[in-house]
Amino acid sequence: MPLPCPPQTAPEPPPYRPTPIRLYVIGTMETHNEQALLVDRWLVLSEWLAQQGFPVENTRPVFISSATTPPNWLAALRETERVDPWFRGVRAIIARGLGGFAAGGVDAPDGRARAILGDAAYYALTGQSHRCEVDYRLPAFACTWQAQLGALAHEIGHGQGFQHDAGGVMEHWWRWPDVPLVSEEAFAERRARQAAVSQSTDLISEVRRLLGQVRP
Ligand SMILES: [Zn+2]
């Protein structure tokens, strides 16, 4: 029995939607003032991200108070998964104990998306820029709270699947907030890529459905 003809019009692929974001802060807060500053800074970044279409789910960070600091970024990621197991978006994490570490990305094949920064960001965001500069030998321009909010936004951009050629903060994070997260072109390209992936998935499921029809 021949396969039936495929439908003339391909199903419309779902539009690309930026992934929701949550911020977690892991470690001991030395003062209430540090915690209050982190809340303020994250609110500012949340609004900036939302204006560009990147939704933040918690405008107040999840504070995970821990006497022991995570030994590496994977341990930090697992700590947020222990506290908040069902969240499927970009886990933005500031973890004390990770030093000058900063990285972001999407892990294949499970799609765990993350944006993780260490103590250098913690210090810059809590009014201790001198510790960011001295302890991690970073230039002064990289240790302002604005620059480190840019670094956080940059890693969140990687968690959204953007690369370094995306322009804006994905190119020059220290220029936050004077440049957008990504250029218009990069956003359009990402949208097209997502549509292509969705389309091929739809075509495979369509073929499976047709094969199912011809089997007894
Ligand atoms: Zn990067």
pLDDT at 214: 45
Distance, CA 14 to ligand 1 centroid (Å)?
Answer: 28
Distance, CA 104 to ligand 1 centroid (Å)?
Answer: 7
pLDDT: which is higher, 15 or 22: 22
**Nearest-angstrom CA–CA distance, 39 and 95:** 15
Position 6 confidence tier, pLDDT thresholds 50, 70, 90: low
pLDDT at 127: 95
In this structure, the strands spanning 112-117 and 102-107 are: antiparallel
Distance, CA 12 to ligand 1 centroid (Å)?
Answer: 33
Question: Residue holding tokens 């405008």?
Answer: 59
Distance, CA 96 to ligand 1 centroid (Å)?
Answer: 20
- pTM score: 0.83
pLDDT: which is higher, 23 or 107: 23
Position 212 confidence tier, pLDDT thresholds 50, 70, 90: low
Distance, CA 164 to ligand 1 centroid (Å)?
Answer: 6
- C-alpha distances (whole Å) from 4 to each of 57, 129, 186, 204, 206 are 45, 67, 39, 15, 12
User: Is the pLDDT confidence value at 8 over 70?
Assistant: no
State the chain's mean pLDDT as an integer. 86
pLDDT: which is higher, 4 or 132: 132
Lowest mean pLDDT of 8-17, 74-83, 121-130, name the range: 8-17
Distance, CA 163 to ligand 1 centroid (Å)?
Answer: 7
Position 188 confidence tier, pLDDT thresholds 50, 70, 90: confident
- What is the signed CA dihedral for 159, 163, 166, 167, rounded to 10 degrees? 90
Position 1 confidence tier, pLDDT thresholds 50, 70, 90: low
**Nearest-angstrom CA–CA distance, 80 and 83:** 5
* % of residues, the chain, pLDDT over 70: 82
Distance, CA 184 to ligand 1 centroid (Å)?
Answer: 18
pLDDT: which is higher, 162 or 198: 162
User: Is the pLDDT confidence value at 26 over 50?
Assistant: yes
User: Is the pLDDT confidence value at 216 over 50?
Assistant: no
Distance, CA 158 to ligand 1 centroid (Å)?
Answer: 7
pLDDT at 215: 42
pLDDT: which is higher, 172 or 211: 172
Write out pLDDT tens, residues 137-164: 999 999 999 999 999 999 999 999 898 8
Position 20 confidence tier, pLDDT thresholds 50, 70, 90: very high
**Nearest-angstrom CA–CA distance, 54 and 61:** 16
Answer yes or no: are the C-beta atoms of 106 and 66 closer than 8 Å.
Answer: no
pLDDT at 92: 98
Q: Two tokens at 54?
A: 């990147």
